[in-house]
Amino acid sequence: SDYVFFENSSSNPYLIRRIEELNKTASGNVEAKVVCFYRRRDISHSLIQLADKHETSKRSADTSEEDWQLSLEEEKESPTETDLTDKQKHQLRHRELFLSRQYESLPATHIRGKCSVALLNETEAVLSYLDKEDTFFYSLVYDPTQKTLLADKGEIRVGPRFQADIPEMLQEGEADDRDQAKLEEKLWNPECPLTNKQIDQFLVVARAVGTFARALDCSSSVRQPSLHMSAAAASRDITLFHAMDTLHRHNYDLSSALSVLVPAGGPVLCRDEMEEWSASEAAMFEEALEKYGKDFNDIRQDFLPWKSLTSIIEYYYMWKTTDRYVQQKRLKAAEAESKLKQVYIPTYNKPNPNQISMTNGKLATVNGAGPGSYHTAGGGRACESCYTMQSAQWYSWGPPNMQCRLCVSCWMYWKKYGGLKMPSRAEGPEDHVPRQSNHMVPMRNSGSPKSSMKTKQAFLLQATKLTKLARHMCRDIIRLRRAARRPFVPINCGAIKAECKRICFSFIFLPLLFFLLLHSYLHSLIDCLQRFSFHPKPSSVLSSLCRLPIKSHLKASPLSPCASCVCVICPIDPPHRNHHNTPPPSLFLSPAWT
């Protein structure tokens, strides 16, 4: 049950795990079965906001006016979270963990030290977690598969909300104003008129009545086939409690109490949970207890839904008094003796790959003045966390394009607590993984140049021809330069699409429709002229028609309209103008509306 640091990467922070058991593999190596804990940086930002909101609402709900007055003096002595500085709040987030029900096996050689993890104590000062080294706290349970947060069932019930309100001591002769009927109910009077011998004799009679009642009951004769088992069942506490309660309710009158034990219908049979449960139900309970432990809600939900929670709990404490429990306890003790209880972890002194300078324990100045200093193109950079310029050792931290580095103390703080001592420009608002370049995306649990980044997936945005046409036709609506200067203001694509359709219909589709109608009119005109033995060439008619200026103010003079013709011929120029090198008469086609 020790809490330890595990190292799974040379650049990532340590993993915090709780050791459940140590197992020795076939190859001789030792593996630890551990329970996983997660940091704030390991959880999505939306869940972190949900956790902070839950903590705020819990405090506001729990703190009433009376509690505030009672705990006012205690809060004056210990600072609250609102009294902390920004640096202390920043470091306090690094101490918060999230418990999970996830188990995993890790090599024992990856253990780097011990730490302490406790359930959040509301009555303890928050500064106590910062003052203690390698100390963490948790209050919520994280499910990594479902990506959900749940409140832990355990709670430390300490404080004025849970402790009893002890009244002041009464003086000599002072009357008690409390209503005794509302406070308690007397179940037995030790100053009763009966002697101890009479009470014991009455209890013997009650046991005999219980044994006789089991002999008459068919189901009891099947469960306890022998007289010895029936007598043992009749001597259990349920029979004695019923006998003493009967004696108390009849004012310790033995004759009236005996008449109640053996009524007219037959002797009274009292059973507890040990007798009510069948052998198959007892086997299912032992299987559930092996799987879930003392989580009676899960036992009832998955194994014994027809039993009440009170019945399961009562049966559990009776089952602990049986020989079956004693045998299982001995087997578990022998199994625990055979397991590994402790393992020797040697000091880990291998060089870290993120180490960027080595000065043999002497201070090195990064600005170029020291003999063993580390020079780069961007030399002279201070520690990213504490901004110191001197350190016995430097470690690279973050993406390579930012060229960040940490001193020895800040590097150990990063490895243990998963963040920097001071908020850095390379850290997010919630101490998540450091930011990357524009062409990279961060990966979870990253800190090294190799493992912290991966290339974004490239894509090509190819606009359609209609989209390109809309940029030119709807310039007064789009305003590309203004939109580029306001990247967070959405563009109304619906208005642009409607305007583009309107312009296309006015300048493209209407002339095309008019040309198609003109083409149909031309064929009708040729058919009409051929009926009157006039055979014009279609090409000449079409060319003259294309040169025709459309003038709606000209009046049409019909010439021999035909019943089947849909058009009339309108002479615009007189025929004699053809002799003066004038253009041939143009034709104007007008639909016959009448």
Structure tokens at 204: 């013997």
| CATH number for region 196-271 | 4.10.1240.50
List Cα–Cα distances, 465 to 405, 468, 472, in angstroms. 50, 5, 11
196-271 and 279-338 agree in CATH topology? no
Per the listing, tokens 């008690």 go with: 176
Distance separating alpha carbons of residues 204 and 157, to the nearest angstrom: 44
Query: What CATH fold (topology level) applies to the domain 3-151?
Result: SH3 type barrels. (2.30.30)
Q: What is the pLDDT of residue 17?
A: 92
Which pLDDT does position 120 carry in this prediction?
83
> In sequence order, which residues have a C-beta less than 8 Å from that of residue 42 and are 6 or more positions away?
98, 444, 445
Calpha distance 115→14 (Å, rounded):
11
Q: Assign residue 373 a region (left: φ > 0; alpha: ψ between -120 and 50; beta: otherwise).
A: beta
Q: Report the pLDDT value the prediction gives residue 70, as an integer from 0 to 100.
A: 46
Whose structure tokens read 């009926």?
531
Q: N- to C-terminal Cα distance for the chain?
A: 103
Other C-beta atoms within 10 Å of 4: how many?
Answer: 21
Locate 145 and state its tokens: 């598969």
Give 421-456 pLDDT, tens digit per residue.
887 655 544 444 434 434 444 444 444 444 444 556
Count helices and strands in the chain by DSSP H and E runs: 23, 16
Q: In the prediction, which pLDDT does 82 show?
A: 57
Residue-level pLDDT at 223 = 67
For the chain, the domains span 3-151, 196-271, 279-338, 352-443
Q: What is the pLDDT along the chain (594 residues), one digit of tens a residue?
A: 889 999 888 888 999 999 988 888 888 788 888 999 999 988 888 888 888 887 776 665 555 444 544 444 444 444 555 578 888 888 888 999 999 988 999 888 888 889 999 888 777 777 888 888 889 998 888 988 888 888 776 666 777 777 788 888 888 888 888 887 777 788 889 888 999 999 999 999 998 888 888 887 776 665 666 666 777 777 788 888 999 999 999 999 999 998 888 888 888 888 888 888 888 898 999 999 988 888 899 999 999 999 999 999 999 998 998 888 888 888 888 877 777 667 777 777 788 888 885 544 444 444 443 444 443 433 567 888 888 888 888 888 888 777 788 898 999 999 999 888 887 655 544 444 434 434 444 444 444 444 444 556 677 778 887 778 777 778 778 787 888 888 778 888 888 888 887 877 776 666 777 777 777 777 777 777 776 655 555 555 555 554 544 443 333 333 333 433 333 334 334 444 444 444 444 344 434 333
pTM for the full model? 0.47
Beta strand segments in 52-110, E: 96-107
Hey, what CATH topology would domain 279-338 get? Arc Repressor Mutant, subunit A (1.10.10)
